[in-house]
Amino acid sequence: MASQTKYVYDFAEGNRDMKDLLGGKGANLAEMTNLGLPVPPGFTITSEACKAYLDSGETPSGLAGEIGEHLAALESAMGKRLGDADDPLLVSVRSGAKFSMPGMMETVLNVGLNDESVHGLARQAGAGAETAGGADPAAAERFAWDSYRRLIQMFGKTVCDVPGDEFEHALEGAKKAKGTANDLDLDANDLRALVDAYKTIFVRHTGRDFPQAPREQLDLAINAVFESWNAERAVLYRRQERIPADLGTAVNVVAMVFGNLGPDSGTGVAFTRDPASGHQGIYGDYLANAQGEDVVAGIRNTVPLQDLERLDKTSYDELLGIMARLEEHYKDLCDIEFTIERGKLWMLQTRVGKRTAAAAFVIATQLVDEGLIDLDEALNRVTGVQLAQLMFPRFGEGAEVELLTKGMNASPGAAVGRAVFDSYTAVKWSRSGEKVILVRRETNPDDLDGMIAAQGILTSRGGKTSHAAVVARGMGKTCVCGAEELDVDTKGRKFTGPGGVVVEEGDVISIDGSSGAVYRGEVPVVPSPVVEYFEGQLDPAAEDADELVKAVHRIMSHGDEARRMAVRANADTPEDAERARRFGAQGIGLCRTEHMFLGERRQYVERLILADSDDEREKALAALLPLQREDFVGIFAAMDGLPTTVRLLDPPLHEFLPDITELSVRVAVAEARGEAHENELRLLQAVHRLHEQNPMLGLRGVRLGIVVPGLFAMQVRAIIEAAAERRKAGGDPRVEIMIPLVDAVQELELVREEAERIAHEVCEREGVEVPYLIGTMIELPRAALTAGQIAEAAQFFSFGTNDLTQTTWGFSRDDVEAAFFSAYLERGIFGVSPFETLDRDGVGRLVRIASEEGRATRPDLKLGICGEHGGDPDSVHFFHEVGLDYVSCSPFRVPVARLEAGRAAVQTAGSDSR
């Protein structure tokens, strides 16, 4: 018989490396427990139990018994029984998956309260107050009934799907009847009446009384947390954040401690450094006399954590000591949640905190300076995605717009868009191409799809740890929160600012997540300092250099030293080539020549296609030759000393001809008028002749070189002549000629023989030696599968992963995104488009086979990649693993590819033999 799976771990049994099983929260609670920090006792039910429950729809066998054993241990540690009528132990039931999903899943607090134990809780709270020196039975009564009403509310909503607003309405009604807007003005009697009202709501929606048995409450709450893994908003969040769908969540059952026992109690959240800038200091929010979620939900306005020093110096000092200890232990920025119960500090959570992209770079280098981590680790702590975020523009100064107010700078960046006041409108308008800013009093998880659709988020309530702030930072989205001067009226679809300024739905506003400023109107944006640094306009060594620029420079330099792969750029013009070089490109991996045949040069292509004699064709080619030569001279000059891969013409020829419908109409009209032009008629015939049902699988790439006499020859001649000219002028062109869309070695051999003959001819004539390589793209499955043969004729391979993805999956790269990808993503067939991140299993396998077999034939075969994946962080790691020599991507993505190639190298250091 298989041994019984262990589903429940006491906090003392876990550690921070057990996140797969215990989730992030459980693993870190265990770690803090073992560090001897004041964590309320509790236990964690594993994500394996969740998966088993979700698979079968039932509690896995053995789980109930294990929970019973751990509950008994918890009861004996606390000296109380769950839900005991005289002195009840209460517990919280909290979700906690491997990756943090803020606010996405469920929590139920105060489990164990019922009609009996609420009295016991009131008595104990009163007694506790007495020993604390200030007996206030009325406050104790109030506390107990408030806790009970919170349980019914959370349990009703989370476990039994009772609509949350019903409870909210009842609460609002009670406050109105009392003539107050503040929960704290409701006394014990009001709250007792509210409990009755809540129970009625509960029965109406569930058809049963609110469960009184404490263990039943506990079991139902645990199952609800399991089920919340598959809640719609959690599924959406995972897709957005690329968190695997099959991890499941762990559940933490923790002895309750209370922050709402009076003014000497409270609850808060804090960061060990500023998550927006990385600066050291004390960053957090505190709310006196409040319980758990009140801070995160942004329902009441918090005070800065520094105020705690005045309110409760002992707890404040202890908290600062713990924060320093945690930073040192985790060697990173941590965020924490804590509660103070009558002057006793309790740690409810910690984790390595989310941070903005800028803070990630700054903190990583600070930690190096503090001797906590080395530069390899600093490189590991930042990502290409973060670097890309830093390259976004920011707001410029001096714009003619009205500063409405300032809120908190919760998540940086600059966002401009039309104000919308609900998620539905945000999604709808953004689908029709509008840029929107989602404006809310505060956000909650139901706003998630609106937050995803919006350029930025603006709230009037809540601190830097409110839902809006945490989620926006996680998404890398601009957010200003807690702009208290704004009166947001979501029903009326408007907000009113200071001085009565009204902004209605559809009005353009601009928000600056770095300063917290909110403007009416559109603020122009300026480039990021990181881009200016890459452009060479900012000197990172300067005295007054921006700390972010210094940090980026330091980490990039280390990455460049560490990486094995080179990074090149896809560039077709001298300007692009120069920019790419400034961004650190070590060559051009793909110079597409097709744009060189557009504009006024189209006429020569038309002539080439229409030519019905060798003479006419040669004339057309002769007209194109000097133009092409000029193109290449410019590019070779910009890339002097670095390899430049020029690809011969790739797209179907008809792309250079007029549109078939337009031309047909023009000819028909002309004919009707008796004015038909001979040339137009011939053109129309040619367009018909060249028309293809599947042009991407038709006459393009090397096939053109074979069937259009002289075309590739002209391009090769232009390339070699340009290189010869550069050499004569003292330049150092490094020429690589690349043949696209090769399927079979025979195609390559034919084109190569001709190219070599022409190169030889030009060099003889010009009297200079032009070294060059001839290689091919690998962008068709047959080419990948016969790479061993193709390598006989190729000195390099460059993987064209755009076409290789298209042809491996059989997906038209031009059509699928609109046609059906959203359905595929929704159904989880893939988590991200294979045109964006390389499909390692399929396309990646072909890349691996071709690399291995190509190198088996020709050990010094140069290997690169020039599809879009060359600038995609995840794909870069794959190309490193496969052993490619370089990746090539658009100039703007070159820094990202450099960083990720460096990260890939340090991550595989030791196991990497190349």
Bridge partners (DSSP) of residue 796 are 862
In the complex, least distance from residue 256 CB atom to ligand PEP, rounded to whole angstroms: 57
In the complex, least distance from residue 784 CB atom to ligand PEP, rounded to whole angstroms: 13
User: Which of 800, 870, 895, 902: binder of Mg ion (CB under 5 A)?
Assistant: 800
CA atoms within 13 A on the CB side of 776: 31
Choose from Mg ion, ligand PEP, none: what does 592 bind? Cβ within 5-8 Å by kind. ligand PEP
User: Which of 240, 789, 802, 907: binder of ligand PEP (CB under 6 A)?
Assistant: 802
Q: How far apart are CA 412 and CA 349, in angstroms?
A: 25
For residue 565, the SS3 value is coil
Choose from ligand PEP, Mg ion, none: what does 857 bind? Cβ within 5-8 Å by kind. none
| Residues between 812 and 871 with contacts to ligand PEP, criterion CB under 6 A | 866-867
Q: Per-residue x/- mask for ligand PEP, residues 762 to 801, rule CB under 6 A?
A: -----------------x--------------------xx
> Stretches 102-110, 347-355, 684-692, 801-809: which one binds Mg ion (CB under 5 A)?
801-809
Q: Per-residue x/- mask for Mg ion, residues 29 to 48, rule CB under 5 A?
A: --------------------
Choose from Mg ion, ligand PEP, none: what does 866 bind? Cβ within 5-8 Å by kind. ligand PEP
Choose from Mg ion, ligand PEP, none: what does 590 bind? Cβ within 5-8 Å by kind. ligand PEP
Q: What is the dihedral of CA 291, 297, 302, 305, to 10 degrees?
A: 80
Amino acid of residue 633: V
Task: Rank residues 325 and 592 by Cβ distance to ligand PEP and give the closer one.
Answer: 592
Q: How far apart are CA 367 and CA 357, in angstroms?
A: 16
In the complex, least distance from residue 578 CB atom to Mg ion, rounded to whole angstroms: 25
Secondary structure element (H or E) that encloses residue 44, with its range: strand 42-45
> Stretches 327-335, 383-391, 418-426, 774-782: which one binds Mg ion (CB under 5 A)?
774-782
Bridge partners (DSSP) of residue 641 are none
C-alpha closest to that of 273 among 385, 384, 348, 358:
358
How many residues are given for the chain?
Answer: 914
Q: How far apart are CA 876 and CA 564, in angstroms?
A: 12
Q: Which residues of 386-414 are buried (b: 16+ CB within 10 A; e: fewer)?
A: bbbbbbbebbeeeeebeebbbbbbbbbbb
Choose from Mg ion, ligand PEP, none: what does 289 bind? Cβ within 5-8 Å by kind. none
Bridge partners (DSSP) of residue 494 are 489, 504
Decide if residue 590 touches ligand PEP (CB under 6 A): yes
In the complex, least distance from residue 570 CB atom to ligand PEP, rounded to whole angstroms: 7
In the complex, least distance from residue 547 CB atom to ligand PEP, rounded to whole angstroms: 38
In the complex, least distance from residue 680 CB atom to ligand PEP, rounded to whole angstroms: 31
| Residues between 383 and 442 with contacts to ligand PEP, criterion CB under 6 A | none
In the complex, least distance from residue 868 CB atom to Mg ion, rounded to whole angstroms: 10
- Take residue 493 and report the two structure tokens written for it: 């679809």
Task: Rank residues 277 and 805 by Cβ distance to ligand PEP and give the closer one.
Answer: 805
In the complex, least distance from residue 863 CB atom to Mg ion, rounded to whole angstroms: 17
Q: What is the 3-state secondary structure (H, E, C) of 610-646?
A: HCCCHHHHHHHHHHHHHHHHHHHHHHHHHCCCCEEEE
Q: How far apart are CA 294 and CA 147, in angstroms?
A: 13
| Residues between 779 and 798 with contacts to Mg ion, criterion CB under 5 A | 779
Decide if residue 868 touches Mg ion (CB under 5 A): no
- Residue 541, Cβ density class (10 Å: 0-12 exposed, 13-18 middle, ≥19 buried): exposed
Catalytic positions, please?
467, 866
Q: Per-residue x/- mask for ligand PEP, residues 632 to 661, rule CB under 6 A?
A: ------------------x-----------
Within 8 A by CB and 6+ apart from 376, the residues are 558, 562, 906, 909
User: Which of 592, 682, 840, 848: binder of ligand PEP (CB under 6 A)?
Assistant: 592
In the complex, least distance from residue 590 CB atom to ligand PEP, rounded to whole angstroms: 6
Decide if residue 803 touches Mg ion (CB under 5 A): yes
Choose from ligand PEP, Mg ion, none: what does 801 bind? Cβ within 5-8 Å by kind. ligand PEP
Question: Are the beta carbons of 434 and 238 closer than 8 angstroms?
Answer: no
Question: Are the beta carbons of 469 and 479 closer than 8 angstroms?
Answer: yes
* Dihedral sign (CA 666, 667, 673, 679): positive
For residue 252, the SS3 value is strand
Task: Rank residues 215 and 592 by Cβ distance to ligand PEP and give the closer one.
Answer: 592
Choose from Mg ion, ligand PEP, none: what does 867 bind? Cβ within 5-8 Å by kind. ligand PEP
Within 8 A by CB and 6+ apart from 873, the residues are 383, 384, 385, 896, 900
Task: Rank residues 559 and 867 by Cβ distance to ligand PEP and give the closer one.
Answer: 867
Q: Which residues contribute to the site for ligand PEP (CB under 6 A)?
A: 590, 592, 650, 779, 800-803, 866-867
Q: Which residues contribute to the site for Mg ion (CB under 5 A)?
A: 779, 800, 803
